[in-house]
Amino acid sequence: MRGGLKDYLARRLEPWEMRLLQRSYDVVGDIAVVRVPEALAHRTEEISEAVLRTNTHVKTVLRQTSPVSGECRLRELMWVAGERKTETIHKESGCSFKVDLEKCYFSPRLSYERMRIARQVRPQEVIVNMFAGVGCFSIIVAKHSKVSKVYSIDINPVANQYALENVRSNKVRHIVEPILGDSKDIVMSRLLNIADRVLMPLPERAFEYLEYAIAALKPDEGMVHYYDFTNAKRDEEPVGKVSRKAAGKMLSMNVGLEIPFGKVVRTTGPRWFQVVLDMLVRKKR
């Protein structure tokens, strides 16, 4: 929980309520998204008002009332305070992204990952982003590297429309091509054997789509940035657990694999982790 908010609410909430309060919240553009436990539902307005008062750049507070779910990774949001809206413009790494948080998935918590990958891209690479959303990974790569082409795929038609707008506003139309559709179908129909690098920033579906990521890579070798969720017990190491899972599937596809880098991106719940693996894949002829 941010210091100003914690101090502000400590004078207004009971000690037991402070213990239940979520420690953090997301800010996307000028919209804050808070998670309020049901036991504190009666305090939702006070918590939201505190967010507005302690963050002068926040104009709207929305309460997330369901987990992210479904093919388009959406969540239910309830307006609580400030301006009544769900659309905003989020600025990150010198880029701007228009997004409707009610209709598109967006996570500001992956900002470090987006730049980390952009810095790895070598001149004239071709990239396939299999789960592109409104275009954040794709556009940041285009703005911060000398990439040749980024195919930016998403199945959500609303997200695709925002991606088209964001590509125009960030002046990368000559590099980034937003494509509407299921990435496995798009890869198999038009993007076979063309990519130096594949991005898979959808932990819920990445494992299922690994074979299509490999199909998109050029015939010799390429890099796959693979994201996954895992539940790791106290005696288990999350990165190692995900590495073994991915390596097992790669073995069944008869490809060579090195994993030069892996890390926990963030904790998503008690003993639940989001992990990224940078996987160097060599196709066997």
**Residue 114 pLDDT > 60:** yes
Least confident of 86-90, 213-217, 265-269: 265-269
- Assess whether pLDDT exceeds 60 at residue 264: yes
What's CA 168's distance to the chain center, in Å?
Answer: 21
CATH topology of domain 110-283: Rossmann fold (3.40.50)
| Model pLDDT for residues 157-204, shown as the tens digit of each residue | 999 999 999 999 999 999 999 999 999 999 999 999 999 999 999 999
Both tokens of residue 158? Answer: 């609303």
Residues with Cβ within 8 Å of 145's Cβ and at least 6 positions away in sequence, in order, are 118, 119, 121, 122, 123, 125
Instruction: Please state, in angstroms and rounded to a whole number, the distance separating the CA atoms of residues 183 and 171.
Output: 24
pLDDT in tens, 31-83: 999 999 999 999 999 999 999 999 999 999 999 999 888 888 899 999 999 99
What's 217-257 look like in SS3? ECCCEEEEEEEEEEECCCCCCHHHHHHHHHHHHHHHCCEEE
pLDDT bracket for residue 22 (50, 70, 90): confident
Assigned fold of 3-85: GMP Synthetase; Chain A, domain 3 (3.30.300)
pTM: 0.93
Residue 272 backbone dihedrals phi, psi, to 5 degrees: -105, 135
pLDDT digits (tens, 9 = 90+) for 217-241: 999 999 999 999 999 988 899 999 9
At residue 254, the pLDDT reads 84
Q: What single-letter DSSP state applies at residue 29?
A: T
Yes or no: say if 223 and 196 are a contact pair by the CB < 8 Å rule.
Answer: yes
Grade residue 4 by pLDDT with cuts at 50, 70 and 90.
Answer: confident
Nearest to 221 by CA among 278, 279, 277, 281: 281
- % of the chain residues with pLDDT over 90: 87
d(CA 81, CA 50): 10
pLDDT digits (tens, 9 = 90+) for 118-150: 999 999 999 999 999 999 999 999 999 999 999
State the Cα–Cα distance between residues 25 and 282, nearest whole angstrom. Answer: 40
> pLDDT confidence of 1, banded at 50, 70, 90?
very low
Label residue 285 by pLDDT band (50, 70, 90).
low
Select from 115, 93, 88, 118 the least CA-distant residue to 26.
Answer: 88
Residues in contact with 260: Cβ distance below 8 Å, sequence separation at least 6, in sequence order: 278, 280
- The whole-number average pLDDT for the span 208-223 is 97
**Residue 46, both tokens:** 């006070």
For position 3, what pLDDT does the model report?
54
Domain residues of the chain, as ranges? 3-85, 110-283
Mean pLDDT of 82-97: 98
Judge if 3-85 and 110-283 fold alike in CATH terms: no
